[in-house]
Amino acid sequence: MAKTIYIAGLGLIGASMALGIKRDHPDYEILGYNRSQASRDIALKEGMIDRATDDFASFAPLADIIILSLPIKQTIAFIKELANLDLKEGVIISDAGSTKSAIVDAAEQYLAGKSVRFVGAHPMAGSHKTGAASADVNLFENAYYIFTPSRLTSPGTLEEMKDLLSGLHARFIEIDAKEHDRVTSQISHFPHILASSLMEQTAIYAQEHEMARRFAAGGFRDMTRIAESEPGMWTSILLSNRETILDRIEDFKERLDEIGQAISKGDENQIWNFFNQAREQRQAMEIHKRGGVDSSYDLYVDVPDEEDVILRILELLRGTSLVNIHINEENREDIHGILQISFKNAQDLERAEHLITENTDYTVVVK
């Protein structure tokens, strides 16, 4: 039976979800709320939604499922507002917020006793882009889509949500809201703090040491990429997960002190172990798989910086399906560009390795 879905917030996440829902459920009616007209117009024009409003309360009573895809503070404000609206019996309310406890607590507080269901959710995909103009039907492909069930998540709710979101091609997973916030504080929130601090420290340093800007290369770029994230979103993430993040900061200070002391004592062993342990731990982690979620088979080709070299390799690989191709450009004169090509399976990887080594004199490394 066709359902009516209401997505509040037609930003990157909300509009991408609309596209994903339409992919598997073209018969569902999707209603959209957005504060600004620009994203409403894009979402309507591109057929992401069927009807749009700037009055949040007006469409809520029509919906079988409501998804709030707004900043955390606004998500909570709308949950409060939903508690006072005349909603459909058994409507499912969900969200997309990057932290979960504050939102789930608010839902449990305001929606308890009403004939509504609620399940907190965090689609773990995104980028620094914002607005419906950046929407992408493949944004959630293979990404974890986390549900944080609570008392208001009655039986059947998750199944309905998974069916609704099947077109996202995401990987659904369930976890307790508090545990979600602890885990993400370590692997997402705290790294953002570090990246931005490092960026800020370097910018200040570069005022006195101008060459710092020019010499900053691959390692620095990898460490600071996420410092380009949207400031408003990250402010609300930190403010809605304060305790766990402060705990991670304190823990890290101790680590910095420890390595600082080893350096000051000239303790070669300790310093070596520090690097070696981190190297081993990183190699054992899931991030060595594509996007942290799906395994891929990677091959590295040491290519010279010459015209058409990449085209030549791709020509050799005609007929082999690649999942990704990446050029690791280090701005060091003495090393060749490393071309990284990822394949879906071991056979394709082997075939490519064979073709490249047979037909070129480039060094090929398989990892």
116, β-bridge pairs: 91
- Annotate 102-130 with b (16+ C-beta within 10 A) or e (fewer): bbbebbbebbeebebbbbbbbbbbbeeee
* Contact pick of 71, 104, 143, 170 for ligand NAD (by CB under 6 A): 71
- Total residue length of the chain: 367
- The residue among 72 and 352 lying less far from ligand NAD, judged by its C-beta, is 72
* Contact pick of 10, 21, 65, 227 for ligand NAD (by CB under 6 A): 10
Q: What is the CA 231 to chain-centroid distance, rounded? A: 15
Contact call for residue 20 and ligand NAD (CB under 6 A):
no
* Contact pick of 7, 12, 42, 92 for ligand NAD (by CB under 6 A): 12
Per CB under 6 A, contacts with ligand NAD among 33-62 are: 34-36, 39
* Contact pick of 14, 20, 120, 149 for ligand NAD (by CB under 6 A): 14
Measured over the CA atoms of residue 293, residue 76, residue 95 and residue 157, the dihedral's sign is positive
Q: Least distance to ligand NAD from the beta carbon of 16, Å?
A: 8
Check if the beta carbon of residue 122 is closer than 8 Å to that of residue 140: no
Check if the beta carbon of residue 188 is closer than 8 Å to that of residue 179: no
Beta-sheet pairing, 297-303 with 337-343 = antiparallel
Cα–Cα dist 117/130, whole Å: 29
Q: Least distance to ligand NAD from the beta carbon of 76, Å?
A: 10
- The residue among 20 and 97 lying less far from ligand NAD, judged by its C-beta, is 97
Q: Which two tokens stand for residue 55?
A: 């009055």
Q: Least distance to ligand NAD from the beta carbon of 125, Å?
A: 6
- The residue among 9 and 20 lying less far from ligand NAD, judged by its C-beta, is 9
- The residue among 14 and 149 lying less far from ligand NAD, judged by its C-beta, is 14
Per CB under 6 A, contacts with ligand NAD among 72-131 are: 72, 74, 96-98, 122-123, 126-127, 130-131
* Contact pick of 69, 153, 184, 224 for ligand NAD (by CB under 6 A): 69
Cα–Cα dist 211/220, whole Å: 14
- Annotate 223-247 with b (16+ C-beta within 10 A) or e (fewer): bbebbebeeebbebbbebbeebbee
* Contact pick of 9, 20, 32, 120 for ligand NAD (by CB under 6 A): 9
Q: Which stretch binds ligand NAD (CB under 6 A): 30-38, 82-90, 273-281, 332-340?
A: 30-38
Query: Which residues are near ligand NAD by CB under 6 A?
Result: 9-14, 34-36, 39, 69-72, 74, 96-98, 122-123, 126-127, 130-131, 233
